[in-house]
C-alpha cells in the first residue's frame, strides 16, 4: 500500500484566479480549476534577459552592454481534453473556461479595472513552472464529435506569460511612506488610469513616465512593473 501510494500519479492542473483589485502580485479568489486528464508530454519554458549595446563610432571594440531587465517567463504546453473529466465537465465546458481567461472578468469590469483572470500551472512539486501568469495565446483543435455535434476531444495549445516577480525598487520589509512602490500593469491600464488610482490624479502620469523612462507612455504591456514615485515626491 505504501509503495502504491508513493507511485500514484500526480495530475497537473490549471488554476484560474480573479485578478487583484489594486495592482500587486497577489491574485484574488480562485475562479476555476481545470484538472488535466493527461499530463503534458512536453513543457517549453523560456526566460531571457534584455541588454542594450550603445554604438560608438570612434570605438575599436564593441561597447560594454547595459542590462535593461529580465523578461517574463513564458510557458507553452499542449493539453488533451477527452470526454468528461472526473467532475463530469464536458470538453466544451473546459474549453469555455480557457476562453474566458482571454477576456476581462465581470468583477474587474465592475471595478472599472478590466482584466482577464490570472492563471497558474501546477504539477506536484515542479516549482520552476508554477508562476502566476496570464493566458497569452490559446489555440484549440476539436478532433472528435458526438452524433449530436458536441465536441468529445480537443487539443489545446496554451501559452502562459509570467505576470511579474519581486517589486522593483522597494525593500519588501520597509514600511517607510517615502519608499517607492511598483504597480503590475494589467490589461486595460494606461499611465493616466494608474496615476489616478495610485497617486490621486491622472495629471501625475508624466512623472510616472519620466521615472520609468518610458519612451512610448501610451503602450503598456500587461505583466510588466511600473515604478511609482514615493509619497514625498508626489
For every one of its 234 residues, what pLDDT tens digit does the chain have, with 9 covering 90 and above? 445 445 578 999 999 999 988 766 788 899 999 999 999 999 999 999 888 777 766 667 777 777 878 889 999 999 999 998 888 889 999 999 999 999 999 998 998 888 999 999 999 999 999 999 999 999 999 999 999 999 999 999 999 999 975 544 444 333 333 445 777 888 878 888 888 888 877 778 888 888 877 777 677 888 777 888 765 444
Helix axes 191-199, 205-212, angle to 10 degrees: 110
Give Cβ neighbours of residue 1 (< 8 Å, ≥ 6 apart). none
Q: Closest Cα to residue 191, out of 168, 177, 211, 163?
A: 211
pTM summary value = 0.66
Look up cell 493527461; give the residue.
Answer: 38
> Which structural domains are found in the chain, ordered by start?
2-47+61-162 (no CATH), 181-233 (3.10.350.10)
Q: Closest Cα to residue 146, out of 92, 226, 76?
A: 92
Q: CA 206 to CA 213: how far, in whole Å? A: 10
Amino acid at each position: 500500500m505504501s509503495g502504491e501510494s508513493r507511485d500514484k500519479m500526480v495530475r497537473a492542473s490549471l488554476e484560474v484566479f480573479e485578478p487583484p483589485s489594486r495592482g500587486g502580485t497577489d491574485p484574488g479568489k480562485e475562479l476555476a480549476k481545470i484538472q488535466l486528464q493527461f499530463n503534458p508530454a512536453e513543457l517549453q519554458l523560456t526566460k531571457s534577459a534584455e541588454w542594450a549595446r550603445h554604438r560608438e563610432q570612434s570605438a575599436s571594440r564593441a561597447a560594454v552592454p547595459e542590462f535593461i531587465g529580465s523578461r517574463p517567463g513564458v510557458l507553452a504546453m499542449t493539453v488533451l481534453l477527452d470526454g468528461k473529466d472526473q467532475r463530469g465537465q464536458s470538453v466544451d465546458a473546459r474549453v469555455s473556461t480557457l476562453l474566458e481567461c482571454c477576456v476581462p472578468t465581470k468583477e474587474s469590469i465592475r471595478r472599472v479595472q478590466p482584466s482577464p483572470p490570472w492563471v497558474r500551472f501546477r504539477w506536484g512539486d515542479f516549482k520552476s513552472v508554477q508562476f502566476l501568469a496570464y493566458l497569452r495565446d490559446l489555440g484549440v483543435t476539436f478532433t472528435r464529435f458526438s452524433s449530436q455535434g458536441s465536441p468529445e476531444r480537443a487539443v489545446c495549445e496554451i501559452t502562459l506569460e509570467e505576470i511579474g516577480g519581486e517589486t522593483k525598487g522597494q525593500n519588501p520589509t520597509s514600511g517607510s511612506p517615502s519608499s517607492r512602490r511598483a504597480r503590475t500593469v494589467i490589461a486595460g491600464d494606461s499611465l493616466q488610469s494608474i496615476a489616478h488610482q495610485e497617486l490621486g490624479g491622472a495629471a501625475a502620469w508624466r512623472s510616472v513616465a519620466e521615472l520609468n523612462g518610458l519612451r512610448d507612455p501610451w503602450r503598456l504591456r500587461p505583466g510588466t512593473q511600473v515604478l511609482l514615485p514615493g509619497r514625498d515626491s508626489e
